[in-house]
């Protein structure tokens, strides 16, 4: 949010998969995000920030794209900038190293923001890189890097705003390492208690940025001012929960009706293969296997293990994945 709020409307954001706040600020709608995460690529065709890039799931692969965007701005003599956000883990990728290098050598108006949350799934920052800071990776590429308190939204805003002004004014790239902490599991499929200590997580909760901002605004008296403003904008006796409930009901309604309006050919827009490939079948099989059998496996003999696996295979065969696809495809075409 700190980075997005420092950008101009005609700048271009290249997010990773964790920048929903920034995307919403830029004008991406919740409906578009839900569509995207539901596997519908039309969710990446933003109505408002037309030129912002879609969510990028392959780690760090959008960094070279950001350099391309910045090069286009430079060639067209446009005073615009590209802002590319990625995680600490991404800084070990070749894509990021190459992007930093080219941005430096061609003096491109691009800002890289590392959201250093201390973890890349189960890989802690300390084992990710021997560099003392991630910001210093900019020095090797010939431009400046800085660290900022990533849990302080105003500090991030200030750092990005300064970098954007310098980039606009002479094509100087910049790298910002925003220091934060991943308080939750990596994704809903992760269980971080398997590789990190709960005490470590508890220690970091007081720095949670939304609470911190709320405390800061309360101290300044702005928070109550904001709540009063909300009160005047909504009918009397409207509780905030009702506003939020209405909002989420609105998004669900919009999503449902949008999907219902276009059932035919809908699967041609998703990543669902038109024919079930062996690769997908094997992937589906093993992820189910990992979730249901291997994760909590407790066997005392090789024979018992074999029995468990055979029972699982029989179970999977009762509901073959290919059948589900065929059903979807037949309905779609």
Ligand X SMILES: Cc1ncc(C[n+]2csc(CCOP(=O)(O)OP(=O)(O)O)c2C)c(N)n1
Residue 129's nearest CA partner among 120, 139, 142 is 120
57: partner contacted, choices ligand X, Mg ion, none (Cβ within 5-8 A by kind): ligand X
59: partner contacted, choices ligand X, Mg ion, none (Cβ within 5-8 A by kind): ligand X
Neighbouring residues of 174: CB distance < 8 A, sequence distance ≥ 6 = 111, 112, 138, 143, 144, 145, 146, 163, 166, 167
Question: CB of 80: closest distance to ligand X in angstroms?
Answer: 26
Question: CB of 215: closest distance to ligand X in angstroms?
Answer: 25
Question: CB of 100: closest distance to Mg ion in angstroms?
Answer: 18
Question: CB of 182: closest distance to ligand X in angstroms?
Answer: 6
* Residue 177 in contact with Mg ion, rule: CB under 5 A: no
Neighbouring residues of 20: CB distance < 8 A, sequence distance ≥ 6 = 33
94: partner contacted, choices ligand X, Mg ion, none (Cβ within 5-8 A by kind): none
Chain contacts with ligand X (rule: CB under 6 A): 18, 57-59, 86-90, 115, 117, 119-121, 182, 186
Closer of 117 and 255 to ligand X (Cβ): 117
Distance CA 16, CA 87 (A): 8
Interacting positions 88-127 with Mg ion (CB under 5 A): 88, 117, 120
Tell me the residue nearest to Mg ion as measured from the CB.
Answer: 87
58: partner contacted, choices ligand X, Mg ion, none (Cβ within 5-8 A by kind): ligand X
46: partner contacted, choices Mg ion, ligand X, none (Cβ within 5-8 A by kind): none
Q: Which of 8, 42, 48, 195 is catalytic?
A: 195
Residue 76 designated active-site: no
Distance CA 41, CA 24 (A): 17
Residue 195 designated active-site: yes
Residue 178's nearest CA partner among 66, 16, 69 is 16
- Token representation of residue 102: 């080219």
| Pairing mode, strands 110-116 and 145-149 | unpaired
Question: CB of 182: closest distance to Mg ion in angstroms?
Answer: 6
Closer of 32 and 88 to ligand X (Cβ): 88
Q: Which of 18, 186, 196, 212 is catalytic?
A: 186
Residue 15's nearest CA partner among 24, 125, 6 is 24
Distance CA 102, CA 170 (A): 16
Residue 123's nearest CA partner among 92, 84, 97 is 92
Residue 157 designated active-site: no
Decide: 139 and 145 in contact? Cβ < 8 Å.
yes
Catalytic sites, residue numbers: 182, 186, 195
Q: Which residues bind Mg ion (CB under 5 A)?
A: 87-88, 117, 120
């Amino acid at each position: 949010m700190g980075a997005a709020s420092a950008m101009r409307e005609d700048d271009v954001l290249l997010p990773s998969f964790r920048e929903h706040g920034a995307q919403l600020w830029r004008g991406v709608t919740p409906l578009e995000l839900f569509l995207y995460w539901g596997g519908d690529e039309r969710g990446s065709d933003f109505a408002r920030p037309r030129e912002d890039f879609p969510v990028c799931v392959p780690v760090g692969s959008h960094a070279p794209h950001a350099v391309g965007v910045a090069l286009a701005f430079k060639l067209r003599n446009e005073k615009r900038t590209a802002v590319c956000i990625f995680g600490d883990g991404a800084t070990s990728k070749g894509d990021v190293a190459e992007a930093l290098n080219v941005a430096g050598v061609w003096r491109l108006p691009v800002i890289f923001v590392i959201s250093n949350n201390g973890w890349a799934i189960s890989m802690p920052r300390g084992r990710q890189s021997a560099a003392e800071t991630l910001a210093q990776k900019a020095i090797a590429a010939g431009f400046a890097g800085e660290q900022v308190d990533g849990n302080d939204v105003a500090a991030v805003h200030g750092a990005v705003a300064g970098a954007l002004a310098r980039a606009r004014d002479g094509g100087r790239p910049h790298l910002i390492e925003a220091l934060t902490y991943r308080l939750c599991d990596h994704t809903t499929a992760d269980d971080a208690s398997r590789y990190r200590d709960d005490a470590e997580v508890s220690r970091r909760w007081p720095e949670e940025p939304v609470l911190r901002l709320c405390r800061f605004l309360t101290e300044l008296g702005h928070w109550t001012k904001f709540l009063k403003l909300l009160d005047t904008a909504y009918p009397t006796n409207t509780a905030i929960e009702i506003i939020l409930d209405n909002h989420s009901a609105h998004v669900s309604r919009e999503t449902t009706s949008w999907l219902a309006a276009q059932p035919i050919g809908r699967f041609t827009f998703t990543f669902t293969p038109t024919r079930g490939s062996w690769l997908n079948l094997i992937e589906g099989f093993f992820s189910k296997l990992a979730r249901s059998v291997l994760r909590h496996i407790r066997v005392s003999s090789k024979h018992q293990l074999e029995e468990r696996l055979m029972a699982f295979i029989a179970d999977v065969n009762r509901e073959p994945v290919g059948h589900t696809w065929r059903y979807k495809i037949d309905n779609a075409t």
